[in-house]
Structure 1
Amino acid sequence: MTISAIAAMRYLKLFAAQREDKVLFGYVWKIIPFLWVYSFIIAILPILGISSYTTEPYNISCTINWTGSSLEDKMYVILSVVFGFGIPLLICITCYVLIFKQLTCRNNAIRAPRHMESRLVKTAFAVMLCFMLAWTPIA
């Protein structure tokens, strides 16, 4: 979720020109507690009886029960994938597509050099690729 919050804040910062930094700073103080609560809810569900935590094969760390056969285990795995991977990925893609479209429109309107646009596209692509490479094997 943090990466999607960064994408959303990047969009707001770039295209909310009428907003002051003070207002955007206020958004940050709303987003941070939301991220903590969102993550806490997903993490606490196994402790409350929906699915369970189990040890990794070498007993090094614990993880959610990915291979559980109960309905709760399967539902929690689906919930984790959707809310921990799918929604953040969708938010990131949406924000970066909107940023790219806005930059393309601005650059076409003012005939500005495309250096900033290409740098942003490369950065966004690298961030999204790293996120997908890191989380797709788990999801």
Structure 2
Amino acid sequence: MSSELNTIIDRCRSEGLRRTKALEELLATLLESERPMTLAELAESSRLVNQCDKATVFRLLQRLADKGIVRRLGLHERAAYFALLVPGRHCDYLICTSCGNIETVNAPCPVRDLEKEIQFTTGYKNLYHELEFFGTCPACAA
């Protein structure tokens, strides 16, 4: 088990979540994923498909989101995507308003310097931001 995964599990425990095999496998799946995942993708992943049912995955995701360990992304009428919030790791997202697909923005974050300036001028600690861009993906635009 990676030290990053152990750190996240320790954070879960400090937030009052029970350490279970299903929780470990869910966190490991999200940690290894290069993009946010839907409930269906998570429940059908190789780590979870034989570990627990979709309802259990959903309940775990809700608890993790409530504790600020997982972020729910997506348009309200579309399937939700879930991404692990890892301190020091930052992702911005592109969200298609037609199909609901979500991709990670593969470009330098334009808000980093502004975030540092705001932290310096306001005195806020542990400042972070979340940035989402909405539009029509190439497949839907065709």
Q: Which has the higher helix share?
A: 1
Q: TM-score, normalised by structure 1?
A: 0.25
Name the larger-Rg structure: 1
Q: TM-score, normalised by structure 2?
A: 0.25
Q: Which has the higher strand share?
A: 2
